[in-house]
Structure 1
Amino acid sequence: MASSFTLGPKFHEKLKDLLEGESSPSPQLFEQLDALKDQSTMSFKTARKLQKLLQENGYPVYLHDLLEDSTLYLPKVELPPRNPELVARLEKIKAKLANEEYMRITRNVNPQEMNNHGTLADFGREVRSVKAVVITVFNFLVTVVAAFACAYMGSQYVFTETAARIISAVIAASVVGLAELYVLVRTMEGDLGDP
């Protein structure tokens, strides 16, 4: 259905003036105007045809003047039915995008950590990690004390004074302690990964 006009009272008055005017319109224009006399609507195609006939017959009436109080009705656009396959594909793509967005948002959340607070397995893991730290500290202390004792006992053949023996033992224990710390830090760095 094409666009149409609902004709207002001014249109009918102007139409009556044209039909009853002093100058008689051509038979084709008269026929067209007479047909519109009783109508309440007019198509856009008919309005263009009427404008052309009026201009050909020398009437100084413009179409916008005739249709001044008329209302334009445009046809309702009917959308074609959507393809079910396309709709299904779009829904699948929307679900996939929503899932990817959800995974991006929650990538730093570990549900196992959230659900297992206070379980016996967590307690066991914590005990093992504390046990490893205690063993490492104990090993460090034993190594440093043993280095001090060895240096102190071995320096009796080199130094006769006690002060010199203690200083040499402290230096030896410090060197061994620093070496032990270096190895410990390198091991922990390897376990944790490079920063």
Structure 2
Amino acid sequence: MASCFVVGDKFRERVTELLENHLSSVPQGLREELEKVLDRPEPTTLSFGVARRLKKYLQDNGHPFYLHELLEDSSLHLPEVLKPPRNPELVARLERIKVKLANEEYNRITRNVNTQEICRGGTVADFGRQMRSAKAAVVTVFNFIVTVAATFACCYMGSQYLFAAIEARVISAVIAASVVGLAELYVLVRTMEGELGEP
């Protein structure tokens, strides 16, 4: 916290004039304090107490300049705050806590990582699982195509007893194949939903 001013040249000049003026009757105690301030090497500091006494003197004696004019080129002296040294036990404890928190954070981030599953080529079990999945997809598509084609062929061949025109037979076979295809798609989607819904 500031307790004094760092005075400038204007203060020195005005106070020197004030002290040299024989008409001004500066009290002896204040005169000695001001002379000490002027005799100090740069940077010269003026305490708030001396500044208050000088201000009171100037007001009481009706001098033509005021304290704020004297201190125009002055500044507050803010002493440097010295930080106390840190307790080594506290520093060591804080470091241990930081390391512990970093380890907990690392463990939280990596808790769902399984090192057994991380390998470049994958294991034989992974390859077999993928092959079974691909095989099931191929079988499902093949089954769908065969079912639709067989329905079309069966309906086309069976409709010859009902319709004499080929156009009517083709239309009836396409309608039957479409209905069976939609039913197959519905069953396939429900099956996939069931597989995906499993945990």
TM-score by length of 2: 0.60
Aligned twin of 1:106: none
Q: C-alpha displacement at 1:188, in angstroms?
A: 3.1
Q: Name the SS of the counterpart of 2:36 in structure 1.
A: coil
Aligned twin of 2:31: 33
CA distance in 1 between counterparts of 2:74 and 2:191 reads 90
Q: C-alpha displacement at 1:170, in angstroms?
A: 5.1
Aligned twin of 1:46: 50
Assess, with a 3 A threshold, how the Cα gap between structure 1 residues 74 and 143 changes in structure 2: closer, same or farther.
same
Is residue 3 of structure 1 aligned with residue 3 of structure 2?
yes
Is residue 187 of structure 1 aligned with residue 185 of structure 2?
no
CA distance in 1 between counterparts of 2:10 and 2:150 reads 118
Identity %: 55
Unaligned runs of 5+ in 1: 104-109
RMSD, matched Cα: 4.5
Q: C-alpha displacement at 1:36, in angstroms?
A: 1.9
CA distance in 1 between counterparts of 2:17 and 2:177 reads 124
Assess, with a 3 A threshold, how the Cα gap between structure 1 residues 111 and 45 changes in structure 2: closer, same or farther.
farther
The question of whether the paired residues in 2 share the 8 Å contact of 1:15 and 1:33 is answered with no
The question of whether the paired residues in 2 share the 8 Å contact of 1:7 and 1:69 is answered with yes
How many residues in Structure 1 have an aligned counterpart in Structure 2? Answer: 176
Aligned twin of 2:15: 15
CA distance in 2 between counterparts of 1:12 and 1:169 reads 116
Q: Name the SS of the counterpart of 1:37 in structure 2.
A: helix
Runs of 4+ in 1 over 6 A off after TM superposition: 80-83
CA distance in 2 between counterparts of 1:149 and 1:8 reads 112
1:118 maps to a residue whose letter is G
Q: C-alpha displacement at 1:115, in angstroms?
A: 4.0
1:54 maps to a residue whose letter is L
Aligned twin of 2:127: 123
For each residue in 1:132-169, what CA deviation from the matched residue of structure 2 results, as whole angstroms up to 9, or x when unmatched? Answer: 1111123223433544565467657x548695995455
CA distance in 1 between counterparts of 2:81 and 2:9 reads 29
The question of whether the paired residues in 1 share the 8 Å contact of 2:4 and 2:46 is answered with yes
2:54 maps to a residue whose letter is L
Assess, with a 3 A threshold, how the Cα gap between structure 1 residues 63 and 151 changes in structure 2: closer, same or farther.
same
The question of whether the paired residues in 1 share the 8 Å contact of 2:155 and 2:176 is answered with yes
